[in-house]
Amino acid sequence: MNKKELLVTLEYIEREKGVKREMLIQALESALTSASRRIFPEKKDIRVEIEPESADIKVFSGEKEISLPQFGRIAAQVAKQIIIQKIREAEKENVYKEFKEKEKTIVNGEVFRFEGKNVIVNLGKTDGLLPAREQSPLDRYKQGAWIRAYLLEVSRKGTMPQIILSRSHPQFVAELFKLEVPEIYQGIVEIKGVARQVGERTKIAVCSKDEKIDPVGACVGMRGQRVKNVIQELQGEKIDIIPWNADIQIFIANALSPAEVVSMEIEEEEKRVKVIVKDETLSLAIGKHGQNVRLASKLTGWTIDIRGVTKTQTEEVEGDSSSISSEEEK
C-alpha cells in the first residue's frame, strides 16, 4: 500500500465508516512502532510518526530520523491489518449505536435459524436472539417467515453486539398499540399500564388528554379493527382495554370488569383493597385460575381481596375468596 492508496483508504474509512482519521493515524503509528521494535531490536527508542494530511511515514530513533531496510513492506502489511481491524470495529460500533437507538421499540426481522428452542432473527445488518423465555406459547416460527418483536436489550458482547428480542414482554403489546393507534403515537392517548399473562390475556389501561377523545374507543378502532390487528399479531391472545382513573376505587372496579363491584374497603398503607362483588359475577371477577383478579392486581399495583355478597354476610369459608398481590407476579 503506497502513500496515495493510504490517503484514499483513510478518507474512505473516515467518510463511510465514521472513524476519525486521528484515531486511525494513532492506531497505525502504534502498530508500526511495535512491529519495528520487534524486527529491529538493535534500534533504541524507535518510534513511527505519520503526517495526517500527506500520509508521509517517518521513523525516528530518539530524536533522529532514520531509514530502515524493508520498512516499506512492513508498513504496508501492518497498515492493511490495522485498517481491516478498524473497519470491523467501526461496523460493530455503528450496528451497536443503530440498534441501541431502537431499544424498547418494535423491530421487524426474518426467522433465520433455530438454536434449540431459541430463534435467530435476521435484522438486516445483524442477527437478534429471541430466547425461548421471551416467546409466547401461541407463536409458531418457520424459517424465512417475517416476524415482529420487541427489542428488549442491546449489549456489547462477543464480536458483534448482542441483541435480545421479546414477544412475551408486556411492553410489546403497548408498542403494538402505538403502531396501530395514531392517538397513542401522537401522545393524545396515554398507556398507563400493561398487565399480561402471555398467550392468554392482557389488560391495558389507557387515558386521554383530550376530553373529546374516548381512549378505549380509540384503541378499539372502527369496527374493532385496531384491537383486532393487535390480537392477530399476538396469535389470538385476549385483550381487555381498561379506562384508567386517578381514583383508585374506580380504576380497580374498571380493572375487575366484567364483574359488578358492590363495595370496597381501602387500606392505603398496605395498598390492599377488599372488594365485594355480586355473587353472580364472583367467578368472572376471579377469572379462570384467578387470572382476572391477578391481572387486575398487577395492573393497578394493589393487592385485591375479593368476595361475593352472600359469603361476606356470613362466616366466610376458606377457599371462597381470592387474594392476589401484584408482588406475587414480580
Per-residue pLDDT of the chain (330 residues), as tens digits, is 677 888 888 888 888 877 888 888 888 889 888 888 888 888 778 889 998 888 888 888 888 888 877 778 888 888 888 888 888 888 888 889 999 999 999 999 999 999 999 999 999 989 999 999 999 999 999 999 999 999 999 998 777 789 999 999 999 999 999 999 999 999 999 999 999 999 999 999 999 999 999 999 999 999 999 999 999 999 999 999 999 999 999 999 999 988 889 999 999 999 999 999 988 889 999 988 899 999 999 999 999 999 888 865 554 444 444 555 444 444
Asked if 173 contacts 197 with a C-beta cutoff of 8 angstroms, the reply is no
Q: Structural domains in the chain?
A: 3-100 (3.30.1480.10), 106-166 (2.40.50.140), 169-244 (3.30.300.20), 246-330 (3.30.300.20)
Nearest to 165 by CA among 195, 198, 130: 130
Nearest to 79 by CA among 24, 126, 15: 24
Give strand pairing partners of 89: none
What is d(CA 330, CA 319) in angstroms, rounded to the nearest whole number? 24
Angle made by CA atoms 80, 82, 86, in degrees to the nearest 5? 120
Nearest to 284 by CA among 274, 293, 276: 293
Asked if 195 contacts 295 with a C-beta cutoff of 8 angstroms, the reply is yes
Tell me the whole-structure pTM to 2 decimals: 0.80
What is d(CA 182, CA 94) in angstroms, rounded to the nearest whole number? 31
Asked if 136 contacts 199 with a C-beta cutoff of 8 angstroms, the reply is yes
Cell of 225: 379493527
Q: Which residues contact 94 (CB under 8 A, 6 or more apart)?
A: 17, 18
Size of the chain, expressed as the number of residues it contains: 330
